[in-house]
Amino acid sequence: MISDGVEDEEKWLAAGIAGLQQNAFYVHRALDSNNLKDALKYSAQMLSELRTSRLSPHKYYALYMRAFDEMRKLETFFWEETRRGCSIIDLYELVQHAGNILPRLYLLCTVGSVYIKSKEAPAKDILKDLVEMCRGIQHPLRGLFLRSYLSQVSRDKLPDIGSEYEGDADTVIDAVEFVLQNFTEMNKLWVRMQYQGPAREKEKREKERGELRDLVGKNLHVLSQIEGVDLGMYKDTVLPRVLEQVVNCRDALAQYYLMDCVIQVFPDEYHLQTLDILLGAFPQLQPSVDIKTVLSSLMERLSNYAASSAEVLPEFLQVDAFSKLNSAIGKVIEAHVDMPVAGVVTLYSSLLTFSLHVHPDRLDYADQVLGSCVKKLSGVEKVEDSQSTKQIVALLSAPLDKYNNVMTALKLTNYSHVMEYLDYGTNKVMAAIIIRNIMKNNTYIYTGDKVEALLELIAGLIKDADGDCENEVDEEDFKEEQNSVARLIHMLHNEDPKEMFKIITTVRKHILAGGLKRLPYTVPPLVFSSLKLVRRLQNQDENGAGEEAAATPKKIFQLLNQIIESLSNVPAPELALRLYLQCAEAANDCDIEPVAYEFFTQAYILYEEEITDSRAQVTAVHLIIGTLQRMHVFGVENRDTLTHKATGYSAKLLKKPDQCRAVYACSHLFWADDPAVMRDGERVLLCLKRALKIANAAQHMANVTRGSSGSVTLFIELLNKYLYFFEKGNPQITVATIHDLIELITTEMQSDGATPDPAADSFLASTMRYIQFQKQKGGSVSEKYEPVKV
């Protein structure tokens, strides 16, 4: 039955078109022979096709358009007829003899149009008559199309200012009255449509109504096109009348569409001057009207208007647009108690955007908006539906986008209050937005208070969710987030050490509270940021040390110690170790031996107790050795202890090659760059020899286990070490030792079990080339190398 409906409709439409065309043919014939009577008769028959009730608006429109085309021809004929001397007044009467009302009124409108054109009667009288007579069609669909036809044929004939149909006085008002009346009637018909027909087809009807809305809206468009509608008339007549109709029709669909129409059709300037009236209508609309969208689009328009030119800004101030909008929104929200949170927030978001555009200098306005928003939100627990959160994010992003400076946002006291209403996930999203903004604009946050505020704000990224275990977040995302936090920490910066120290303390407080998972990401930037401060202090120390009581390097080191310690719970021993070493180095540069020693101790403890993975151990040992080598604060005793330990670690590595490499690296510990610190050639040689022994052992082991000797790479590496120290002038390294080693390597390489290793070959070759090169270089180095034979 239902599926038949569409087919039937097609059939009816086809029948309608056929009937229409047939009669149109007779009309044409009558027109060709100037037979007025037949023309009227057949055109009435033709128009009778429009009396159908069977077509949906869409199909009806198709039929109407065909009739419309025919009527244009008829209109031309009528016009010619009057040129030929037929009285237009008679014609006007003649068409009214038609018995059926719909054809009669179409004809009347057509002749009426010619009547106006003939100027035999004032346009306003004819228009008034036409719009009045059209009341006879109470059927919504047919009425809408008829009145649309009237509007169409009359729109170029309105007695507008400057129009040729302008009458003696006050005629614009007649034009306006006409359009308003037609609009009112059309809207009534349109609204009435929903009540006709069975209830079960309501949805379908609403859809059909949607298709017809432009017919109604066109009237508003016509109004906006009338030249004579100036601000005064708009304010006194047009807008109140339109709004009255909109409010009184009590239909959500119509109200929504028409309000939007009004906003879109009339100039911004008018809106600005009539804000009171326009806004006054909003609270009176039906609860189901999507007010937020309409109001938002109004504010958006006004915002754009304000942005269009600076000259219009005084107008905004003059009419106090902001407070009007603000109070209107308040009223709307009050009137619609059950408006969803998303709607409320959308409204505030638009208002905020407006305020930011129009009053960029009035932060208090923005804060006020956020404040009202908070007040509204206070009723609800946490905002959870995606729609609302999306809107809140938009709301909160607006100031950031506008000012491109998070500092400004931080000045808005209510900003954080709004954020509190976000659920954990959204809070994170928002925090990420804030951080991105900071990064993009390179905003440095330079006071402790602000840092405090900011970190509170982005708590979502800093802290774990309260209470419940957040279901496992994507590892990748988490990393991404925490990396951004790490980047943020670098943006918290102040040149003043005192303030910077404060910042560091604040950040520390927050990140330590942030949960173990985050520490590996957040601690390093903080440590480095602190170390940066230390370095700066260290440079300043010379000029004005005494008064920097608040932020001495010592204090910072204490802090750092605690911070790094916190990593032990994670645990992240490797990271902690690196950080300790970094700190130690910094302490070294500050000449604070005990501190440096302490850091080393911590690092050693970590190495001994926590770092168990052999690969990690290798790395750690090398790090320790490298750092230790650069230390110069230590006294002999401390140094010995530390070096001894380091060498011990090296020898105890699991794999022989690792051992070998670590041990030969240790040799550097006894040969500091600065001779004053440490130069002990003997112990260097000892280390190297030991390394050689280990290398031999490794070779041997390889022989035993795999039946082939391992690579000679280790030997070649050792050779390079020997050469290094030889070159540096270690007396214990002689030409002979080098010769021995070279020989050893060559034999190893030529031995039976040796596996050919192109990498080792080329390594050796380049080492040899190096020796050759040094020989030829001239100067003291050449001399030194002279005895070395290759």
Partner 1 sequence: MNYLLGAFKPACHISIVFADEKNRKKVPIKKENGQTFMVPLFQSQENIAGKISVEPVQGKKIEHNGIKVELLGQIEMYFDRGNFYDFTSLVRELDVPGELYETKTYPFEFSTVEMPYETYNGVNVRLRYVLRVTINRGYAGSIVEYQDFMVHNYSPPPSINNSIKMEVGIEDCLHIEFEYNKSKYHLKDVIIGKIYFLLVRIKIKNMDLEIRRRESTGSGANTHVETETLAKFELMDGAPVRGESIPIRLFLSPYELTPTHRNINNKFSVKYYLNLVLVDEEDRRYFKQHEITIYRLTESPSE
Residues that bind partner 1 (CB under 8 A): 51, 93, 96-97, 99-102, 104, 132-133, 135-140, 142-143, 188, 192, 196
- The reply to whether omega before 525 is within 30° of 0 (cis) is no
Q: How far is the CB of 36 from partner 1 (least distance, A)?
A: 14
Question: DSSP string covering 696-762, please?
Answer: HHHHHHHHHHHSS---SHHHHHHHHHHHHHHHHT-TT--HHHHHHHHHHHHHHHHSTTPPP-HHHHH
Answer positive or negative: Cα dihedral of 694, 698, 700, 704.
Answer: positive
Q: Is 128 or 532 the residue whose CB approaches partner 1 more closely? A: 128
Q: Report yes or no: 108 and 43 within 8 Å, Cβ to Cβ.
A: no
The structure tokens 């100031």 sit at: 399
Q: Which is nearer to partner 1, 189 or 584 (CB)?
A: 189
Calculate the alpha carbon distances from 223 to 110, 114, 178, 210, 243 in Å. Answer: 21, 22, 10, 21, 14
For partner 1, which is the closer residue by CB, 133 or 363?
133
Query: Judged by CB, which is closer to partner 1: 107, or 587?
Result: 107
Q: Judged by CB, which is closer to partner 1: 125, or 276?
A: 125
CB of 14 to partner 1, least distance (A): 23
Q: Which amino acid is at 221?
A: H
**By C-beta, is 140 or 217 nearer to partner 1?**
140
Shortest distance, position 42 Cβ to partner 1, whole Å: 17
Distance of CA 208 to the CA centre of its chain: 37
Q: How far is the CB of 114 from partner 1 (least distance, A)?
A: 19
Residue at token pair 């956020």: 370
- Angstrom distance (rounded) from CA 142 to CA 575: 80
CA dihedral over 591, 592, 596, 599, signed as positive or negative: negative
Identify the CA nearest to 702 among candidates 715, 687, 720, 717: 715
Smallest distance from partner 1 to CB 111, Å? 14
- The C-alpha atoms of residue 516 and residue 566 are separated, in whole angstroms, by 8
Residue nearer to partner 1 on the CB measure, 104 or 668: 104
SS3 443: coil
Instruction: Name the residue nearer to partner 1 (CB basis): 137 or 745.
Output: 137
| Residue 331, token pair as written in the block | 């009223």
User: In this structure, are residues 370 and 323 in contact, taking their beta carbons and an 8 Å threshold?
Assistant: no
Nearer to partner 1, 196 or 483 (CB): 196
In whole angstroms, give the CA distance from residue 192 to residue 155.
25
Task: Give which of 209, 167, 207 is closest to 188, Cα–Cα.
Answer: 209
Q: What are phi and psi of 753, to 5 degrees?
A: -75, -5
Contact 656, 694 (CB under 8 A): yes
Nearer to partner 1, 88 or 663 (CB): 88
In the complex with partner 1, the residue whose CB is nearer, 54 or 192, is 192
User: What's the CA gap between 280 and 169, in Å, rounded?
Assistant: 32
CA angle in degrees (0–180, nearest 5) for 437-440-444: 80
Nearer to partner 1, 199 or 310 (CB): 199
Minimum CB separation of residue 132 from partner 1 in Å reads: 6
Neighbouring-strand partners of residue 671: 679
How far, in Å, CA of 676 to CA of 671, rounded? 10
Q: DSSP of 242-289, one letter per residue?
A: HHHHHHHH--HHHHHHHHHHHHHHS-HHHHHHTHHHHHHHGGGS-TTS
| C-beta of 254 vs 299, nearer to partner 1 | 254
Q: What does R_g of the chain's alpha carbons equal in angstroms?
A: 45
Our CB check for partner 1 shows the closer of 147 and 510 to be 147
Distance in Å, CB of 144 to partner 1, minimum: 11
Of 93 and 480, nearer to partner 1 (C-beta) is 93
CB of 135 to partner 1, least distance (A): 6
Q: What are phi and psi of 378, to 5 degrees?
A: -60, -20
In the bound complex, what is the minimum distance in angstroms from residue 128's beta carbon to partner 1?
Answer: 11
Nearest approach in angstroms of CB 177 to partner 1 is: 17
Q: What is the DSSP letter of 320?
A: T
The count of residues in the chain is 790
Residue 406 to residue 419: CA distance in whole angstroms: 14
Beta carbon of residue 136, minimum distance to partner 1 (angstroms, whole number): 5
| Backbone torsions φ then ψ of 531, nearest 5 degrees | -65, -35
**Token pair listed for 153:** 């044929």
